[in-house]
Amino acid sequence: MKRTVDDLAAFGGTPLFDRLLHVGRPSDVDRRVLAARIDGAMERHWLTNDGPLVRTLEATLSEFLGVRHCIAVSSATVGLQLVAKALGVRGEVLMPGFTFVGTATALSWIGLTPVFCDVLPESHNLDPAEIRRRATSATAAILGVHLWGRSCDVEQLEAAARELSVPLFFDSAHALGCSHRSRPLGNFGCAEVFSLHATKVVTSLEGGVVTTNDSDLAERIRQARNFGFVKEDQTVALGINGKMNEFSAAMGLTSLEAYPGVRAHNVAVHAAYRATIVHLNEISLIEPSGPEWNYHYAILQLQEPDGFWRNAQHRLLQKENVLARRYFTPGVHRSAPYAESGHVPESLPVTERLADTLLSLPTGTQLSPAEAAAIGEFIAFCYAHRSEITDRLRGTG
Ligand code: T4K
């Protein structure tokens, strides 16, 4: 543990950890089970195109999420595009400015125009009042994002979608295993899209899954995922290659089996973080929005309205080999290509404040709860010596 400010790695001390601790590090799975599944695919000589492992993953996820249809895809990005295309969306899509830039670029890439709305300070999710403020005659859809796995105000978004007579769908990239009012996410809007990227709580390396209770929509998405084919030599609509391969499905299934243990581990990691910072008024760890939460993201919220101290914390942690992240700085509306487009709001105050004050900390089985406690104690130490550290970082101490 650090005793004086001189002990900080940023000022020449020994780093707290002798290995790098990443945000987004994939959690452990049973490698023998994974290898057996991959071996089976090799034995079958069936590697992609709606293979048996993909079908099993879809069926298992359908049951897990309590949703009628799960369609495995090559990434959440492609999943969002397939949903938008299958819904026939053309024009402007109202979406939050505070999300991963890929939520917006998925839409822009297929010719849609994201219209960035501000988010609610409590949930970090799309503010329904903003929908009404920013809707135009060109509004064609609403895209909510369940950021950090905390559910959007689904009912308010549904009401807004009804008023505007446009479809509502969700980017649920962070939200596998989470719920809204006791119902699993995956069951809301026209469709939801989960990411199974390596950085997610359940992973298929690269991959995603579209969920819907609408059988016609599911059918159109299935067709579009495979070039628009319905049978050999026959396409019925515009399609693309959005398929998941068998190795990814093998990993997805094995990772889903590990999920209960990973979640329990992350509950302990969260508890360790919380216990070490709970006495500090200036920071908090964001809390679940309901009983079902995957605890995959550990997000520290600092009270400072300017980014200096958050950025200082980020830098100090990195020097200690804790590779904290500033998700999602600077806000999509202030990122290329949108910032230069001239079509973005001048300011989204809540988004900008969050972009300056949040810090993502490591979770997952790479990190023990004791190590999480050490990170939390380090942060508390920095707060206790804040003015001295600030002076030294500003070059005045
Ligand atoms: N919507 C939302 C709200 C999203 O957050 C995302 C993806 C999407 C949509 C799109 O989903 P996909 O189309 O990807 O399925 C990463 C991921 O690449 C991205 O998938 C994810 N969100 C985003 C939050 O994180 P970067 O630019 O931060 O990636 P990178 O390479 O810096 O890696 C993140 C951290 O994870 C690093 O600390 C390294 C660590 N890592 C990463 C990989 C791949 C590992 O330790 N092992 C690994 O194998 O975007």
pLDDT digits (tens, 9 = 90+) for 345-374: 789 999 999 999 999 999 999 999 999 999
Decide if 269 contacts 253 (C-beta within 8 A). Answer: no
Q: DSSP of 61-102, one letter per residue?
A: HHHHHT-SEEEEES-HHHHHHHHHHHTT--SEEEEESSS-HH
Tens-digit pLDDT profile for residues 319-332: 999 999 999 999 99
Q: 385 CB contacts (<8 Å, ≥6 apart)?
A: 5
Residue nearest to atom 45 of ligand 1 (CA): 25
Which residue from 201, 208, 251, 198 is spatially nearest to 36, judged by alpha carbons? 251
pLDDT at residue 306 is higher than 80: no
103 and 171 in contact (C-beta within 8 Å)?
A: yes
Count of residues in the chain? 397
Query: Distance from the CA of 102 to the center of ligand 1, in angstroms?
Result: 10
User: Residue whose CA is closest, atom 33 of ligand 1?
Assistant: 24
Q: Which helix (H) or strand (E) holds 53?
A: helix 52-65
The Å distance, Cα 74 to ligand 1 centre, comes to 14
* 8 A C-beta contact, residue 170 and residue 192: yes
SS3 state of residue 286: coil
Using a 6 Å CB cutoff, which residues line ligand 1?
22-26, 75-77, 99-100, 102-103, 145, 171, 173-174, 195, 197-199, 208, 323
Q: Bridge partners of 113?
A: 92
Output the residue whose Cα is nearest ligand 1's atom 17: 199
Asked if residues 87 and 217 have their Cβ atoms less than 8 Å apart, the reply is yes
Judged by average pLDDT, the poorest of 98-107, 120-129, 281-290 is 281-290
C-alpha 76/C-alpha 196 separation (Å) is 7
Mutate which of 21, 99, 108, 197 for ligand 1 pocket (most atoms within 8 A of beta carbon): 197
* Ligand 1 atom closest to residue 25's alpha carbon, by position in its atom list: 46
Closest CA to 338 of 107, 80, 157: 107
pLDDT above 70: percentage of residues in the chain: 99
d(CA 200, ligand 1 centre) in Å: 8
At 19-46, the pLDDT tens digits run 999 999 999 999 999 999 999 999 999 9
Q: Distance between CA atoms of 340 and 202, rounded to whole angstroms?
A: 35
Phi, psi at 72, each rounded to 5° = -75, 135
Residue pLDDT, tens place only, 212-265: 999 999 999 999 999 999 999 999 999 999 999 999 999 999 999 999 999 999
To test the pocket of ligand 1, the residue of 99, 100, 206, 248 to mutate (highest count of ligand atoms within 8 Å of its CB) is 100
In the reported structure, the alpha carbon of residue 348 is separated from the centroid of ligand 1 by a whole-number distance in angstroms of 24
User: How many angstroms does the Cα of residue 296 sit away from the middle of ligand 1?
Assistant: 13
Q: Of the candidates 170, 115, 167, which has an alpha carbon nearest to the alpha carbon of residue 141?
A: 167
**Token pair belonging to 347:** 């300011």
- Mean pLDDT, residues 269-291 taken together: 92
CB-based burial label for 50 (10 Å; 0-12, 13-18, 19+): middle
pLDDT tier at 396, thresholds 50, 70, 90: low
Nearest Cα residue to atom 24 of ligand 1: 100
Q: Are strands 92-96 and 139-145 parallel, antiparallel or unpaired?
A: parallel
Nearest alpha-carbon partner for 150 in 294, 259, 6 = 294
Q: What's the half-sphere exposure (Cβ side, CA atoms, 13 Å) at 137?
A: 0
Question: Residues with Cβ < 8 Å from 260, sequence gap 6 or more?
Answer: none
CB 187 within 8 Å of CB 65: yes
**What predicted TM-score, i.e. pTM, was given to this entire model?**
0.97
Q: What is the spatial distance between Cα 50 and Cα 54, in angstroms, rounded to a whole number? A: 6
The pLDDT of residue 342 is above 80 = no
| Residue type, position 362, single letter | P
CB 146 within 8 A of CB 170: yes
DSSP 180-211: ETTEETTSSSSEEEEE--TTSSS--SS-EEEE
Distance from residue 396's CA to the centre of ligand 1 (Å): 37
Which residue minimizes the CA distance to atom 12 of ligand 1? Answer: 76
Residue owning the nearest CA to atom 21 of ligand 1: 199
d(CA 23, ligand 1 centre) in Å: 9
Q: What is the 3-state secondary structure (H, E, C) of 316-354?
A: HHHHCCEECECCCCCCHHHCCCCCCCCCCCCCCHHHHHH
Radius of gyration of the chain measured on its C-alpha atoms: 22
| Closest among 170, 178, 376 to 295, alpha carbons compared | 178
- At 395 the pLDDT is 84
Report helix, strand or coil for 16. Answer: coil
Ligand 1 centroid–CA 78 distance in Å is 15
| Amino acid 340: pLDDT | 87
